Structure 1
Amino acid sequence: MNHRCPAVLVHGWRSHPGIWNRLTPGLSEAGVPFWRFDHTAMQGAGTETIALALQDYIRAKRKETGYGGPVDIVCHSMGTCIARYLLEVLDGDKREEDVRQLVGIGPPNNGSAMAELFNDPERGPEVIRRLIGVFVPQDYDPREDTIVQEFRPGSRIVAALRDAGTRDDIDYRILLAANLTATPAFFPAFGGRTWEFAPDGGWRTTYSGDGIVPHTDSLLPGVGVEVLPADPGNLARHPEHYCHTMLPRNPEVVARVTEYLSPSSPSL
């Protein structure tokens, strides 16, 4: 019987479980079971609704497999916040969900600067125009997007996560990318840069981000962060592999996540 923790894979906003197609072969080879949570049919639903669906999914998989031990949860982007809302807000005091570690790939843990920028009356329309076909569909209207509205930094959902805080019974790991070589091809829509909040409350761009999520969106108190690539030369070879939408398929990310999920992986 396989005693390794199953990995629950949670995709992000307007994404799909196919983003894990480079990770899952490696998990299979390493003998790590995986369960792919699919919330593509829930567009229009809010954070709490999707988080409850994730809880139902994990419970159903436990019943189906007969597995009652801890699980690891691996998430991309907004999927991290869905999982955190389940674990920290909905289950925070109960501690019914047995989770060994939560791995967030490019997560907007503090709310999304991009979500706020989408709603900026001056800059928003041009930013959305640049992202059409890259990150948003034609005729995208952020006012009609529940998740985007819920992850503006001043929202009640982000406040609930901030107030709940991380759980001391779960190891958190954050994987981020940075444009270490200032290569425009890293994310051409913004010349290789990422929008973030400036200290004065305005806007600025930075190379410390993945084109969509700046590092300042991701950081959590007391949680370790790993910034990729380890070798800046990788950006010269394949800069596009390190942008936000490509991170789950990035070979370096796949290798790190597979290492995290190893039974011998050290606790943080």
Structure 2
Amino acid sequence: MPCWNFDHTAMQNDGTEAIALALQDYIHAKRRETGYGGPVDLVCHSMGTCIARYLLEVLDGGAQEEQVRLLVGIGPPNNGSAMAELFNDPDLGPEVIRSLAGVFVPRDYDPNDDTIVQEFRPRSRTVAALQAAGTRDDIAYRIILAANLTETPAFFPAFGGRTWELAPDGEWRTTYAGDGIVPHTDSYLPGAVLDILPRDPGDLARNPEHYCHTGLPRNPEVVARIMEYLANPDAVPGRVSPAP
């Protein structure tokens, strides 16, 4: 099947709406180039999922002119990013950034200079716009997550195999229900089909690093699950996402 790759790494200083519009332009250009006018499938990682959702639900939610059959999100912070908020925490943020320097963020990382991180803090206007718009009935949503089922520190060594999350009472805590960067509570999207990998906990003993946030897009089990959904969006899911 034809595959297009939208890369927005050169847009690091742009915000969510600008990148979403660039994605729209890219899809339109590919349609003109290929002559294809039917629905497309979008496979996105992390905040890329939310950028695609911003295009489809906020910018195009009323007209629904963008034809999309399937949206697969790998480790997406659909409800805002706890890590983005943690980066900005005056007490915990500096140490967390030091732990991730050279692993997930640059060594000289300053969250105040990161537009996307600021826009995806849980109480941001961007996240509020997504929540107000809601998902689209004409799109099948699939979410693929990882969990440290065996509680092995090698899963994500920076945090001892755990993931930071913001508890309902506003306090910080860590959990094994996450991929080291994105906790499951960040990802839940009402009605979306949800897979939590690995299906075989033994895979964590063999390759724990494949299931952390940065390893998920290249994880063979994740790729196989994506291919199943592309071949058949109605493939039997692991479960349905609970309400966030």
Instruction: Give the TM-score normalised by the residue count of structure 2.
Output: 0.95
Question: Is 2:169 aligned against 1:208?
Answer: no
TM-superposed deviation, 1:265: 3.8
Question: Is 2:79 aligned against 1:124?
Answer: no
3-state SS of 1:107 partner: coil
Task: Report Cα offsets for 1:137-188 as digits up to 9, x if no partner.
Answer: 0110001110000000010000000000000000000000000000000000
Task: Tell me the equivalent position of 2:120.
Answer: 151
Instruction: Give the TM-score normalised by the residue count of structure 1.
Output: 0.87
3-state SS of 2:99 partner: helix
Q: For 2:113 and 2:37, locate their aligned partners in 1 and report how far apart those are by CA, in whole Å.
A: 39
Question: Is 2:74 aligned against 1:140?
Answer: no
TM-superposed deviation, 1:40: 1.1
Q: Which amino acid is the alignment partner of residue 186 of structure 1?
A: F
Query: Quick one: which of 212, 231, 234 aligns to 1:266?
Result: 234
TM-superposed deviation, 1:199: 2.7
Query: Quick one: which of 64, 67, 75 aligns to 1:95?
Result: 64
Q: For 1:222 and 1:40, locate their aligned partners in 2 and report how far apart those are by CA, in whole Å.
A: 31
Question: Is 2:117 aligned against 1:167?
Answer: no
TM-superposed deviation, 1:259: 1.0
Task: Tell me the equivalent position of 1:233.
Answer: 202
User: What are the residue-to-residue correspondences of 1:183-198 with 2, within 5 Å?
Assistant: 183-198=152-167
Task: Tell me the equivalent position of 1:51.
Answer: 20
Task: Tell me the equivalent position of 1:84.
Answer: 53
Q: For 2:225 and 2:154, locate their aligned partners in 1 and report how far apart those are by CA, in whole Å.
A: 24
User: Can you give the 5+ residue segments of structure 2 that lack an aligned partner in the other structure?
Assistant: 238-244
User: Can you give the 5+ residue segments of structure 1 that lack an aligned partner in the other structure?
Assistant: 1-31
How many residues were matched structurally?
Answer: 236
Q: For 2:192 and 2:107, locate their aligned partners in 1 and report how far apart those are by CA, in whole Å.
A: 37
TM-superposed deviation, 1:223: 1.1
Query: Quick one: which of 208, 219, 223 aligns to 1:254?
Result: 223
